[in-house]
Amino acid sequence: MARIRLLIIAAICGIFAALSPLHAQTLVREFESVDAGKEVFMSADSLTYDEALGIITASGNVEISQGPRLLMADAVSYNEGQDMMTASGNVTLVEPTGEVMFADYFELSDEMREGVVRDLRILLNAETRIAANSARRSGGNRTEMSKAVFSPCKLCPLHPEEPPLWQIKAVRIVHDQEARDVAYYDAWLEMFGVPVLYTPYFEHPDPSVKRRSGFLAPTYGTSSTLGVQLTTPYFWNIAPHRDVTLKPKFTSDEGVVWGGGYRERTHTGDYSLDGSIAYSDERDDEGRETGSKVARGHLFSEGDFQLNPVWNYGYQFERASDDTYLSFYRLSSRDTLTTRPYIEGINGRNYASGTAYFFQGLEAEDDQDQIPMVFPLLDFNHVGTPGASGAFTSLDANFMALQRVDGADSRRLSLEGGWHLPHIGRSGSVYRLSATLRGDAYHVNKVDVAGTARTTQARGFTGRLRPEITAEWRLPLVRRMGPIQQLVEPIVQAIVSPYGGNPGEIPNEDSQDFEFDDTNLFSTNRFTGFDRVESGPRVNYGLRFGFFGAGGGRTQGMIGQSARLREDDTFNQGSGLENTFSDYVGRVHISPADVFDFAYRFRLSRENFAARRNEIELAAGPKAIRFNIGYALLEEQIPESDTAAFANREEVSATTEVRVTKFWRIGAGTRRDLTGSGGTLNWHSAVTYEDECLLFTTSINKNFTRDRDVQPETNLLFTIKFKHLG
């Protein structure tokens, strides 16, 4: 430090000798610290030196940088004898961490690492502020403030003299920049300037911390089933790549649900676990207590890892102790849990995967012994390199082994090879010609043979060989009229394949979830899996259109139909494909601006255009008032394994959100079954306040569904989050 002082004095004397009078305008000097290995930069409008007292004085736009710190002030005085620097008038000290200190008076020493401050204001990261009457700095990383206030809330620009939404006042606040902690002694929380909570000691991470162990924002409320409930999550930051979140849920009527989750990121991927356990009263299917206690719980886990640049592997695991545990404690509303290990690889134009499926059914009619287990399910897909003409080949292979504890078993091997030729004509027409040959070999056991007069079961080997030729033509026509660009595209697709292909000995395991709509109109096989195929010559035709505005607005849609030479009894009655001419399917999407969005999907009767399937989604209104309405009508179908149709499904849902002010919003919604035996399924409403420093939400939910011990329920929940406090 002695050499620094000599350098400073020598530099100042040199300047004074060269300038007359002893006054300099915008002087900038650079000094090198031999002891500390750091440079000191000073800039000021005026600089004077009192040699007798050993005091250097700078005034007017003073800037001093030493190491990573920068100090700015109206006036700075340095006493070399006491190694003391004082700064006054609009003093600003910028820390290496990005924090900024403002004060009327600073007294600093030891490279601005030690000192006292009067009328301190600190701007932390994320626009968080601390103010104090006085403070003491020590070690360059610890600031101890007296009679201080902490708040991340902005002041009202019209009335800055009013207190912020919330603030913490304390007799003493200590900010440790190295540990990145803010500690309060004799502190109280104020809301709108009114004290609401006192604590002798309180601590939280400073705003620069992204991950830190501690309590998260709680959720509390009341439920007609669970009683008063409180969820208090605790986050445990074990390491930068792993953490635990404990989520105990306390209820007054049903005890405690001990829940938690674990996450970890490894060198090759990541995995997580989430589970819970509860010890509560046992109930029968009518919801009556049996007088016994029972342990209930669940465990979910998933992982995804990279074996090498080609292969990935992972798993999904889901299991609950019983059917209604998740819905009873309002942890999940799912009706099926899936466990699935898998491995998959992608190498150029080749894709291969191996997986297995194990299901847990949670509905009342589910019989776990009759739910299938799939192990393994193997897939391979290859697309060849296009030749000079653009033609390419494809090869798809699939193997599945499915078994049940009680019921039908099957094993399937499918191979399909294909040749494909895309072509674009001079007129703009787009052609595609494909020829495929597919073979399926089955080994079945206890499979009920469909279509027989009495119940018979197939055993042993069966299969099919299926050639198919597909030709498709499209003509996209585009033109511009002013700011509108128009598209009209007629599409015709012809498919030739032999009749049959779905003998009763082949089970239908993966093609039961079938729905004829606009998404599969031009599919060569509209079934979702391998077990069912379409047969016979058929033609699919339709028209796609679109209108696109320069400002982003658009209207798009399509309509089409399918025709075949004779009826195909593979399709259910009511599916829309059971006759030679199918129903009409299509969609319309209208979005002229951000304030309106309308989507309509339909299936209309081929005879009188009566709606057999309607799906409507409407979103309207600006951000201040936004409405969403959904409507769905699905007409009955007769499954191939049943002789009685299930009832129509008709449902409507509506939600709205109103932004009352910049910070307040109100939301509500409902869902209703419109069939004769239906009614309101649920409704919900919520009021939310959210600004830069506070989130408050209160919600009311009513659920009308009933499932064994799960009864209709009304619950009221509250959540409040203070920024930086958890």
Domain range holding 41? Answer: 1-90
| Dihedral (CA of 155, 157, 161, 162) sign | negative
Q: What is the mean pLDDT of residues 412-432?
A: 95
446, burial (CB in 10 Å: exposed 0-12, middle 13-18, buried 19+): middle
Highest mean pLDDT among 80-89, 173-182, 311-320, 690-699: 311-320
Q: Length of the chain, please?
A: 726
The domain total for the chain is 2
* Rounded Cα–Cα distance for residues 579 and 562 (Å): 10
Regarding whether 200 and 113 lie in a shared domain, the answer is: yes
* Rounded Cα–Cα distance for residues 43 and 574 (Å): 86
Q: What is the mean pLDDT of residues 586-604?
A: 93
Instruction: Note whether residue 83 is domain-resident.
Output: yes
| Of the residues 210, 226, 254, the one at which a domain ends | 210
Regarding whether 204 and 107 lie in a shared domain, the answer is: yes
Instruction: Note whether residue 529 is domain-resident.
Output: no
What band does 28 get if pLDDT is binned at 50, 70 and 90?
A: very low
pLDDT digits (tens, 9 = 90+) for 331-388: 998 899 999 999 999 999 999 999 999 999 999 888 999 999 999 999 999 999 999 9
Q: What is the mean pLDDT of residues 589-610?
A: 92
Regarding whether 66 and 102 lie in a shared domain, the answer is: no
Domain with 59 in it: what CATH number? 2.60.450.10
Indicate the range of 44-53, 336-345, 458-467 predicted with least confidence. 44-53
Regarding whether 100 and 75 lie in a shared domain, the answer is: no
Write the DSSP symbol of residue 155.
P
pTM confidence score:
0.81
Regarding whether 144 and 75 lie in a shared domain, the answer is: no
398, burial (CB in 10 Å: exposed 0-12, middle 13-18, buried 19+): middle
| Of the residues 90, 119, 154, the one at which a domain ends | 90
Regarding whether 120 and 148 lie in a shared domain, the answer is: yes
Res 443 pLDDT > 50: yes
* Residue 331: closest CA among 276, 368, 369: 276
Instruction: Note whether residue 250 is domain-resident.
Output: no
| Dihedral (CA of 516, 518, 520, 522) sign | positive
Percent of the chain with pLDDT over 70: 91
Regarding whether 115 and 58 lie in a shared domain, the answer is: no
Res 640 pLDDT > 80: no
* Alpha helices per DSSP H over 152-210: none
* Rounded Cα–Cα distance for residues 117 and 194 (Å): 28
Res 411 pLDDT > 60: yes
Question: Residue 540 in contact with residue 522, Cβ under 8 Å?
Answer: yes
Instruction: Note whether residue 118 is domain-resident.
Output: yes
* Rounded Cα–Cα distance for residues 298 and 614 (Å): 38
Regarding whether 85 and 130 lie in a shared domain, the answer is: no
CA distances from 193 to 164, 169, 189, 556 (A): 7, 10, 9, 55
pLDDT digits (tens, 9 = 90+) for 532-550: 999 999 999 999 999 999 8
Res 687 pLDDT > 60: yes
* Rounded Cα–Cα distance for residues 185 and 197 (Å): 13
Q: In the numeric block, which tokens belong to residue 514?
A: 């079938």
Instruction: Note whether residue 131 is domain-resident.
Output: yes
* Rounded Cα–Cα distance for residues 403 and 441 (Å): 16
pLDDT at 256: 93
Question: Residue 125 in contact with residue 207, Cβ under 8 Å?
Answer: yes
What band does 451 get if pLDDT is binned at 50, 70 and 90?
A: low
Where do we find the tokens 């206890």? 446
3-state helix, strand, coil in the chain (%, to 5): 5, 60, 35
| Of the residues 22, 55, 90, the one at which a domain ends | 90
Q: Which helix (H) or strand (E) holds 254?
A: none
